[in-house]
Every structure is written in C-alpha cells, then in structure tokens.
Structure 1
Amino acid sequence: MAAVTASTTGAPHLLVVPYPSQGHMRPLLHLASLLAARGLRLTVVATPATLHLLDPLLAAHPSSVRPLTFPSTVDHDTSGPTSVRADFHAHAAALRAPLGEWLRRRARSDDHDAGGRVVAVLSDFFCGWTQPLAAEAGVPRLVFAPSGVLATAATHSLFRRMPRPPESDAAGHGYAVSFPALPGAPSFPWRQISRMYRGCVEGPGGEHSEAMRDNFLWNLESAAFVCNTCHPLEGKCLDAQPLEDLAGKRVWAVGPVAPAPDSTGTDGSAGEVNVTSWLDAFPDSSVAYVSFGTMVVPPPPHAAALAAALERSGTPFVWAASSATLPDGFEDRVAAAGTGLVLRGWAPQLAVLRHRAVGCFVTHCGWNSVVEACAAAVPMLAWPMAADQFFNARLVVEEARVAVAASWGGFGAVPDADDLVRTLAEVLGDAGAGMRARAGEIAEGMLQAVGQGGSSRRELDGLVQELRELGAGR
C-alpha cells in the first residue's frame, strides 16, 4: 500500500500512542508509516524499552516522524501471556500525567519546529486512558485495533454489557455468551471468552478490574475505530456498520497494514535461507508450519499431542517452538528422519508461509498470524488458546472456510493425537483442495484491497482526508 510522500509543510500533526508489546506495536507502526507516506506529521510515544522498535519508521520518514520518549515502570516487552494483567495499569499510570501535559501544550501550539499543532490522537485499544486526555486537550481520539473488527466489537460488547454465568453455574460450564448485535448473533462458551475479561468478573474486582473496564468504555467515547482488517476477510461485519457494540462509531478498515513482501518473499538472512532451503526438498503443499505466536506457549500435554500426530502421520513440518517443551527425543528423531525442523528463537514466518511447499498452518489464530496466512493463501488448523483467538478462529473456520478446528478446548483440553492426525490429513490431502482454493481467492482479494482503487486503499485515503480536514479546521 505504497504512496508518494507528500510535503509535510502545513500537514496535520498526529500523536500516536502504541501499547508496548510487539504484537500491538508493529501493526500500529506500519500504519504510522502509511500515514507519514501520505504527508502527515507524526509524534510517536515510546519508552526506553520500546524505542528501538521505531527505528525502521524513523529511518523511512526522518522529516515527518519524531519519537516522544517517556520513562516507564514497564521496562520490558509486554508480550507475555500474563502481561496485560500485570502491566496494563502500570503502563497507564506511568504515562498519563506527562503525556497529558505534553498534549495540552501541543494542542494549542502552532510551533512548526515542534511539529505544529496536534489535531488528533491515534492510540491502541489498550490505551483507552488517552481518550480523556484528548478530550481535555480538545482534540479527537481514534482507536487503533490491531485485531479484526469481529474480535474488537465482541470484546467491547463484553465490557459494555458485563455478562457473567448465573450463580447456579459459577464456573460457567454450561454457560455461553451471545452477541445479539453482531451479524449472525454468534455465541461462545464461557471458557472461550478471554481470560482478561473472565478475570475481571470472576475475581475480587478492585482497581485493576475497574481500570480494565474503564479502558474499553473510554474507547467507545472515541471518534472512530481504525482496524487492521479488510473487506475480503470481514466484509460481513464491515457491511453491517454502524455496529452497536462499537457505539455506532465509524470503523476504518485499512488492513493489512504490513508492507507486502518483495517478489522473493525473503529477506536473505542466514536463518531464513536455511529454512527455505530445507523446505525446497518437499513437494508443493505438503508441509505443515506450526507456530503459536510470541504470547502463547502450548502446555507440554498439548505440544506432546501435536508432536505425536506429526510423527504418526509422517507429515513433514517446520515448528517455530520458541520456548515450548517438546517430548524427550522428539527433535532428534525428526531431524534424523529428515521430516521435521524445530526452530528455537526467531522464525521467518512470512517466508515460510509463502513457500510453495507449505500446505497448512497450525496456528493459535492470533490476528497477525491469521492475516499473514490468508495473504499467503495457506489453509489453517485453528487451535485458539486465549485472548481474541476464539473469535478469529470462528471467523476463519465458519465464515471464511479456510481452516478446520484442531481444538476448541484451549488450555483446558488436550486433543486426541489420532484426531489431529485426521485433521492434518484433511487439510493437506485432497479434501483440503477447496480450502486452498478459497484461501487463494481471499489472498487475491486482500492484494486488490490494498492496491490502487481497492477497499482498504480507499479507507486509508478517507481517513487521511478526515485528518487533513481536522487540521484545516483548527
């Protein structure tokens, strides 16, 4: 979604506030790059622990993007599975006062050397606390959602309505949460609702729970939502606007915001070359790629079930295992047989997904992974565990029909290895041909969406025009 860089003289100035985890920061920084390429001036908030993530953005747009660094009590990447509960309140508390003071000054100042007057705030949906700061400064705030619109609307619905199991079923074993205001009125068992929300209603309450709910209610007071999604993926929800669960606010669907890979789909690094060279030995669409992302570590029983299924089926695979505990001897056996490659540390996911030999993606259904798989036309084995993943999995399994469910049990249930063998065979075999065809159609649709005249390109241009009008009117 490239654009010719315009002059920033007199351009509107936008304050961008990411939430400090890589899964949230990277898509917002990709969007920031697209906005800067269209001539907007940006100030991007960072902490000492996250400043390095701004390096590519600052290098690409040195005259129109500047960092604004504040010290923080959160001095690490908050991508861990417990990070939202542990760090959410601390992050807001550390930045609220100094950022509010800065914003009030910049909302009144036309000083060009300081970037000019701030006309709007664009902040992550975990930064709802920026809404009252923007209101105090007299500027609108736009919410950036790094996830899809279905998950974004459902999450806000939870905190708006606060559903909970009846006292007779306090653990929620027979309870399901319905979302009557969403297209199709989907319903999800209580165990599939995010632990972040369940913790707020099942726990003792207190300051953290109140802050979490306030965060999402503040989002609903914002001017608009900007989502990293597109019509080929979520047309049903987007066409249903205005969505009651997002307070009827405008949703700008500008995704996928990540830059498209080059013609080779590789960056030439040694690790990437090693993986792609290994994949070269296999037939088209025959290899399973396994990754549960940076936040989710599958418990040892879950990992053992998948390892057993891969060995029993003889399915060749690349497993981005990070810190996962795999069965004793598993890595040595599959390496000796030449059927498996286990990666520890960084994995070149885009290059792997776009390799001709990869025929399916065993994924936790984090939104970034879903978007990357769809853009690469790779069918999925959906294995959601937490957060927004059950919403995303429902989308790709039941609506897009480019995935089959490996398990709906999350952390609480271990699937049978033989069932996983059958699921792998379904996706990689002839029965998966329909999914591959649909995945190809969605991939083509996504490519068109970000191209000239495409739906996401039009949405991004409309967003930029709205910001320019704000700048002209102040």
Structure 2
Amino acid sequence: MYLVSSMEKPQAHVIIFIFPAQGHNSPFLSLATRLHHYWPSLTITLVSTARNISLIRSSLPPDSRLRLHSLPFYPADHGLPASAESLADLPVPQFITFLKATETLYTAFDDFICNLVSNASNDAPLCIVTDFFLGWTVEVARKYKVFHTTFLTMGAFGGAVFFSLWWNLPHTLTDSNSFSLPEYPEVVMDRSQLTKYLLEADGTDEPSHFFKRQIMFLHETDALLINTVEEFESLGLGMLTKTLKLPIWPICPPLAPANQPSSSKSEDETAIMTFLDSQPPESVLYISFGSQNTIQQEQMMHLAQGLEGSSCSFIWVIRPPIGSDLRGGFRDEWLPHGFKDRIKQKHIGLLVHGWAPQLKILGHRSTGAFLSHCGWNSVLESMGHGVPIIAWPLGSDQIFNSMMLIEMGLGVELARGMMESSGPTKAKVEEVVDLVIGPDAKDMEIRRRAKEYRDVMNKAWDEEGGSSMESLQQFVQSINTAAANQ
C-alpha cells in the first residue's frame, strides 16, 4: 500500500480542536489515532476545554504520544452552570447558549497558535482540524497561514439537509406542510421533520444567527472531512460537493473491536452479556436513545406495553423521562405496573440504567435490530455490525438520518420527535417490532441489506484500495502540498 511517507516540515504539527460534546470526542480521537498510526512522525495536539481534555486524557493509553492542550472556559460567565463544559451537562433549551459561549474560546486559541508559530518553527502548526461548531477557527488559520479543515461528525446527507434548512429556512416561505430544499429540489421535507428550534426560526433568532455563521465559515475552509463511508453515503456526498465546491474526504473512523476491554464499567455489563448469550441468534431488540436523550413518560409507557405485547426479547437502556431529574433514580411507576418483574420472570427483557457497552451489544450474534434515536455515531455503529434500525429520531440531524436509512431500505420509522403527540401507540410498537425482528419477521430484506452495508463499511479501511484509507491519504497529501507552498 502507498502512504505519504514524509512531510515537508521536520516536525509536521496537526492541531485537532475538539468541540466539547460527548458524541464528538470519539470520531476526533479515532482520527487522531489513525493519523498517528500511519504517520508516526506527525506531532498531533488535541485541543479542547479543560474538563473535556481531562476526559480525553483518561481515555488514552498511558503510552499515547498525542499531546493535549486545554483552553480556559468559564460557563458561568454566560449564565450556565459553572461545571457545564460540555453539551452533555445541559438540557436542550440551553444548547444554543453553550454554542455561543464556545465562540469566546477565540482569544485563547489564537494565543496558542500564535505561540506555536512564533516560538518553534519546526513545531509550527501545519494544519488545524476543527468541528463545524467551531467554524471561527478558520479566521485563526487564515491569520497564521495554516491549512484549515473542518471535520463533520454528522453524516453527509444529514449535514447537507441541516445546512440547507438553516441557511434558507424554506419552511417559512410556504404555508404547505411539504416543501423542497432550494439547493436540492429532489429532497422533499415535511414540517414534522423539523425541530422546535427550526420551526420557531425566522432568521432573526439566536439559533439562526449562530448556524448561519458556521455555514459561512464552512464555505471558507480548505477542505472537509466527513465521518462517513463513501459507498454508504454517495447521495449525501454528492449534495455537499454540489454546494460547497471544496475537497471532501469521507473518512469514517473504523469501529473499535466489539470484544475490546470496556473503558467504562457498568454494573449491568455482565448481566447484559449473559442475557444475550442465552438468546437465539438475531432475536434481541436493543433500545437506546443515546447518551443525552430520553422520551416522555407516556411514550415510555406505550413503548413498554408494545414490547411486552410483541414477540421479541429486548435490552432497553432506559433513563428517567422528560421533565424529571435525568441524573436521579428511575421509578417503577413510570412503566406499566409489574412490567419489570414480568419481563424478568419470563426472561424476555433487561432494563439497563446508565451506561451500556453498545458496540458489544451490536456485535453480539443475538442482537437482531436496534431501536435508535438515529444519532450519527449510533447509525454508523449499527450499520458497521449489520444491524437494521427501528428509527425513533428525536431532533437535530437524527430525523434526516432516519430519512436516509428508510430510503436505503435499512430502517423502519416507529415514531418521530419527543412530544407526547408524536409517540407510537402500543399497537404500532408491536407492528413495527414484529415486522423487523419477530420470529416470523416479514421484512427479511432489511436484514439482508444491513449485512451488505456492514461488509461495505468494513472494507473502507482496507489498506489496498479502501475508500476511507484513500481519503485519509489524500488529506495528508493536501496538507503536505499546502505546507510546501507556504
């Protein structure tokens, strides 16, 4: 296999600025690790807020050569809890305040890059890689003549739709429930697929201002890395290429092995694996709404009733419902009377409170489907293991990810959104679950297609001709070329 064996500068330095949100650390860390694996001469520095850097440090092996640099960040100055250094620390209504607050990291980041450029020419930054939410970093890169790359942690289709909706607000130009996207007229949206923020946006609100700023910065970056696989998202990649007109490299970081030791420990992990080991192949439904999401109590009740009435076994990562203390204890009254005892006695279900080893669950032979909020990391992990998705998107790009999965025949939508009126009935849960995973599942095609894409995604990192491997090489070559022209 051909790799770029050297860089123009003796100590090429790549700065990777990670936005402080739980779902962003993993893809950025995987990118950094992959770069260092193939180009060990690279100096790689991970930058983020102090608390996020501390979290990243705890996840790295003791012999890691990745550098870490923390930037001072004071959430309390913006009316946020003093400890809120990540989106994971906040409820959804405070997200936009947090997003705006991270723009105040500009001065500290500028000082950091200035010191690198001024004090050690051989250690000067060759490339800055940042998140879409940190678009302002392109101004710092231009100031010091450094190659700038945005790493999009959402999917290509979801990103293209997200950008178009926030840039154009097309739903404000019509009274119809259905409307097309200006850049992509072939994509027809429905108002029910928009978040509360989008439905309320009119172009003068804070979310509109923030996202339009990031989209403008995106058009100024030198290149775009995307957390996806070319063969999986050819449609979305084509959409972004049409509008951004800059190099786009899909480099979905490879999944960690499902059997690797857990970095986090769960009291339920042994019980989870024992339960899965006792079930027939492809018979268990795994349910998780991600690390920051939950649903209404009434929705929770209907989902539990439908699961009990269906024919499949399940593992449900369950959190307190919306409106309660998400960090508090779970109350049995939020579920049907006797539900927990019945599923335990019948050995048909397992409730998990807190963290669960998602990759191990998805990689287990007994897991047959994933009832998911369709967060992009979860989509990639499910597809990477050939597990079809029962979609219940709750917001943001999740709804657009669900659209794509259904169009590709890789998922079935159960519900949409977290409002009580958007939840499924008991009968709907039974119908959809039995369609995809019941013992007489009618939709066997969805399982076949999921396995096909598992093979496609796993080949993306083949060292001879894998699409993600080639994209990573092209990215490093572009950094090299930019450095030579400085």
Shared fold (TM-score, shorter chain, > 0.5): yes
Q: Which residue of 1 aligns with 2:399?
A: 390
Partners in 2 of 1:62 and 1:385 — Cα distance?
Answer: 37
1:254 aligns with 2:256: no
**Cα gap change, 1:342 to 1:6, in 2 (>3 Å):** farther
Which amino acid is 1:345 matched to? G
Asked whether the 8 Å contact 1:142–1:225 carries over to 2, the reply is yes
Q: Which residue of 2 aligns with 1:192?
A: 193
Which amino acid is 1:302 matched to? Q
Quote how far apart the aligned CAs of 1:265 are.
5.9
1:157 to 146, 164, 178: 164
Asked whether the 8 Å contact 1:5–1:36 carries over to 2, the reply is no
1:371 aligns with 2:371: no
* RMSD (Å) for aligned C-alpha atoms: 2.7
Asked whether the 8 Å contact 1:286–1:358 carries over to 2, the reply is yes
| Greater displacement, 337-346 / 97-106 | 97-106
**Cα gap change, 1:201 to 1:374, in 2 (>3 Å):** same
Q: How many residues align?
A: 455
1:38 aligns with 2:34: no
The alignment partner of 1:396 has SS state of: helix
Listed one character per residue, the Cα deviations across residues 355-383 of structure 1 (whole Å, up to 9, x for unaligned) are 11111110110000100000111111111
Map 1:420-439 onto structure 2 (within 5 A). Answer: 420-428=429-437, 429-439=440-450
Partners in 2 of 1:146 and 1:159 — Cα distance?
Answer: 17
Asked whether the 8 Å contact 2:268–2:352 carries over to 1, the reply is no
Which amino acid is 1:260 matched to? A
Partners in 2 of 1:242 and 1:323 — Cα distance?
Answer: 41
Q: Which residue of 2 aligns with 1:460?
A: 472
**Cα gap change, 1:403 to 1:443, in 2 (>3 Å):** same
Q: Which residue of 1 aligns with 2:97?
A: 86
**Cα gap change, 1:265 to 1:305, in 2 (>3 Å):** farther
Asked whether the 8 Å contact 2:147–2:479 carries over to 1, the reply is no
**Cα gap change, 1:258 to 1:84, in 2 (>3 Å):** farther
The alignment partner of 1:45 has SS state of: strand
Partners in 2 of 1:440 and 1:14 — Cα distance?
Answer: 36
Partners in 2 of 1:24 and 1:197 — Cα distance?
Answer: 22
Asked whether the 8 Å contact 1:110–1:117 carries over to 2, the reply is yes
The alignment partner of 1:323 has SS state of: coil
Identity rate, percent = 26
The alignment partner of 1:120 has SS state of: strand
Partners in 2 of 1:239 and 1:190 — Cα distance?
Answer: 24
Map 1:58-207 onto structure 2 (within 5 A). Answer: 59=61, 62-63=64-65, 65-74=66-75, 75-76=83-84, 77-79=86-88, 80=90, 81-93=92-104, 95-112=105-122, 116-166=123-173, 169=175, 174-182=176-184, 185-201=186-202, 205=205
| Greater displacement, 189-198 / 449-458 | 189-198
**Cα gap change, 1:8 to 1:48, in 2 (>3 Å):** farther
Listed one character per residue, the Cα deviations across residues 143-170 of structure 1 (whole Å, up to 9, x for unaligned) are 1111110111112222332334258x5x
Listed one character per residue, the Cα deviations across residues 228-269 of structure 1 (whole Å, up to 9, x for unaligned) are 00123212233566221xx222211001x144305x466496
| Greater displacement, 426-435 / 375-384 | 426-435
Partners in 2 of 1:418 and 1:254 — Cα distance?
Answer: 40
Which amino acid is 1:444 matched to? D
**Cα gap change, 1:290 to 1:12, in 2 (>3 Å):** same
Asked whether the 8 Å contact 2:172–2:202 carries over to 1, the reply is no
Asked whether the 8 Å contact 2:49–2:70 carries over to 1, the reply is yes
1:292 to 269, 272, 289: 289
Partners in 2 of 1:234 and 1:216 — Cα distance?
Answer: 21
Asked whether the 8 Å contact 1:192–1:410 carries over to 2, the reply is no
Which amino acid is 2:157 matched to? L
Quote how far apart the aligned CAs of 1:107 are.
3.7
Which amino acid is 2:134 matched to? C
Which amino acid is 1:120 matched to? C
Which amino acid is 1:152 matched to? G
Asked whether the 8 Å contact 2:461–2:467 carries over to 1, the reply is yes
**Cα gap change, 1:200 to 1:41, in 2 (>3 Å):** farther
Asked whether the 8 Å contact 2:311–2:434 carries over to 1, the reply is no
Asked whether the 8 Å contact 1:253–1:456 carries over to 2, the reply is yes
**Cα gap change, 1:159 to 1:313, in 2 (>3 Å):** closer
Asked whether the 8 Å contact 2:395–2:417 carries over to 1, the reply is no
Which amino acid is 1:408 matched to? R
Asked whether the 8 Å contact 2:7–2:480 carries over to 1, the reply is no
Which amino acid is 1:88 matched to? L
1:316 aligns with 2:313: yes
The alignment partner of 2:356 has SS state of: coil
| Greater displacement, 319-328 / 385-394 | 319-328
